[in-house]
Amino acid sequence: MSEPKMDQRIGQGRENWASQVGFVLAAAGSAIGLGNIWRFPYLTGTNGGAAFVVIYLAAIIFFGYPIMITEMTIGRKTQRNAYGAFAALSPGTNWWLVGALGVLTGFVILSYYSVVGGWGVAYLFKTLVGMLPKGTDFAGAFVGHITATWEPIFWHAVFMGVTTAIIAAGVVKGIQRWSEILMPMLAMSLIILVLRSVTLPGAMAGISFYLKPDFSNVTAKTVLDALSQAFFSLSLGMGCMITYGSYVSAEEDLTKSALYVVSMDTMAALFAGLAILPAVFALGFEPGAGAGLTFITLPAVFAEMPLGGFFGVVFFFLLCIAALTSAISLLEVVVAYLVDEKGWNRQRAAILTGTACFLFGLPTTLGYGALSHITFLGMDLLDTYDWITNSICLPLGALLTAIFAAYYWGTKNVAEEANRGSTGMAVGAWWAFLIRYVVPVAIAIIMLSGIYQRIAG
């Protein structure tokens, strides 16, 4: 390993987060997103409730936290984008492929993430102007929205445009500034919704579905869903936390920041479930609606609820903020690569990548209408993008990152860098044990069995 070459690079001309709080909020903004507000509650609903929640929490503790520390450490050590970080730590090898896979995965995730984000913005608009009153055919309204041609494309463009503008403004003036403004709003909206949901008459049935586990129906698919959800939700396995970690200064307590980010993300997911599932039960709806839970079941729930118009607006506002602070982190992974490795200026990189991503996402906006005849293993285009990235690329990226840290860079080197600036939460033997033995083996098994189940139908 060429230490001197790398040390020359450290800190050279690279923008740093202006404060630890700024970094934690930005990283939490990346983590807390559609994964928490849209995906986690519906996966809990379709996977039988509390048993899924328990498996998810185990995945966060045993896989998510150790990999979070590893990625942030790789980023801070090298002060480079995902690709450059692997290249700098292992010159003359092919490990850079892991970083390259991450950059590519980020690009693909953002392309469809922005489409769903666009649905969220459209629904915020519709609830604001009162277009979804009581008595609406909510399933019909949602299907009508996503099968249309121009409307979803318009909102996809709006969402990607805002994301691009924030990234073009820079790390501190764009990402950090907007995270500091939006994250407190997100927390407040979520608390308001939880208080409303759990105090509805009849909320108890939803609370016990959510909190009383029944493991009898757990399958390999449940476990893969929980694991890939943990990676997706924590923005792991694709170099995002390497990139955000690369803007952290050497004195900062990285392990503590990682713990804050993981805890905030987990709380947000648990709260989102608590905001949604009790209300769904209380008003007599089904929790297993799948991806439509947010856009079909919930508008119906709000229409039945006293002051539902207000709570509907709060919910979709929350969804939009959460999606936006995550989308910017996805775009940053690609932009940081182009800035570091290709010498592009940030504005140009942001605008060109944002546009390319918008175009690449177009097939998924049309996948329910004009292109609905195209399917892959029984999935529509958006589910296909989602499945390939979340069930294959993220677990694979996380697996290779763990192997890299454990067996190439070495647990001693990782721990030394991770613990620089640490004030107590130091990385030690437990982390090394997890990253060497538990994480790689378990990810490999879960990933292969989940892929097998999908292909075997």
Residue 264 or 432 having the CB closest to ligand PHE: 264
Q: How far is the CB of 328 from ligand PHE (least distance, A)?
A: 9
Residue 197 or 229 having the CB closest to ligand PHE: 229
**Interatomic CA distance for residues 272 and 291, integer angstroms:** 15
**Interatomic CA distance for residues 163 and 160, integer angstroms:** 5
Contacts with ligand PHE by CB under 6 A lie at 30-31, 33-36, 109, 232-233, 235, 238, 240, 326, 329-330
Q: How far is the CB of 314 from ligand PHE (least distance, A)?
A: 19
Structure tokens at 57: 């929490």
Residue 234 or 435 having the CB closest to ligand PHE: 234
100: exposed, middle or buried (Cβ count in 10 Å: 0-12, 13-18, 19+) = middle
Q: How far is the CB of 412 from ligand PHE (least distance, A)?
A: 28
- CA-CA distances (angstroms) from residue 112 to 115, 206, 290? 5, 30, 17
Q: Decide if 14 contacts 172 (C-beta within 8 A).
A: no
Q: What are phi and psi of 286, to 5 degrees?
A: -95, 140
Q: How far is the CB of 161 from ligand PHE (least distance, A)?
A: 18
**DSSP class per residue in 54-65:** HHHHHHIIIIIH
**CA-based angle 53:386:116, to the nearest 5?**
90
Q: What are phi and psi of 98, to 5 degrees?
A: -65, -45
Residue 36 or 411 having the CB closest to ligand PHE: 36
Residue found under tokens 């293993």? 377
Residue 31 or 296 having the CB closest to ligand PHE: 31
Q: How far is the CB of 215 from ligand PHE (least distance, A)?
A: 25
Q: How far is the CB of 114 from ligand PHE (least distance, A)?
A: 12
Residue 71 or 417 having the CB closest to ligand PHE: 71
Residue 426: CA count within 13 A, CB half-sphere: 12
Please state the separation of Cα 365 from the chain's center in Å: 20
Q: Decide if 174 contacts 168 (C-beta within 8 A).
A: yes
Amino acid at 171: V
Residue 55 or 282 having the CB closest to ligand PHE: 55
Q: How far is the CB of 65 from ligand PHE (least distance, A)?
A: 15
Q: Decide if 180 contacts 29 (C-beta within 8 A).
A: no
Q: How far is the CB of 428 from ligand PHE (least distance, A)?
A: 27
The residue among 443, 413, 409 whose CA lies nearest residue 427 is: 413
**Interatomic CA distance for residues 102 and 243, integer angstroms:** 10
**Interatomic CA distance for residues 118 and 133, integer angstroms:** 21
**Interatomic CA distance for residues 236 and 89, integer angstroms:** 19
Q: How far is the CB of 33 from ligand PHE (least distance, A)?
A: 2
Residue 71 or 252 having the CB closest to ligand PHE: 71
Residue 26 or 282 having the CB closest to ligand PHE: 26
**Interatomic CA distance for residues 37 and 324, integer angstroms:** 12
Q: How far is the CB of 37 from ligand PHE (least distance, A)?
A: 8
Residue 31 or 305 having the CB closest to ligand PHE: 31
Residue 33 or 99 having the CB closest to ligand PHE: 33
Q: Decide if 114 contacts 358 (C-beta within 8 A).
A: yes
Q: How far is the CB of 329 from ligand PHE (least distance, A)?
A: 5
How many helices (DSSP H) and strands (DSSP E) are in the chain?
23, 0
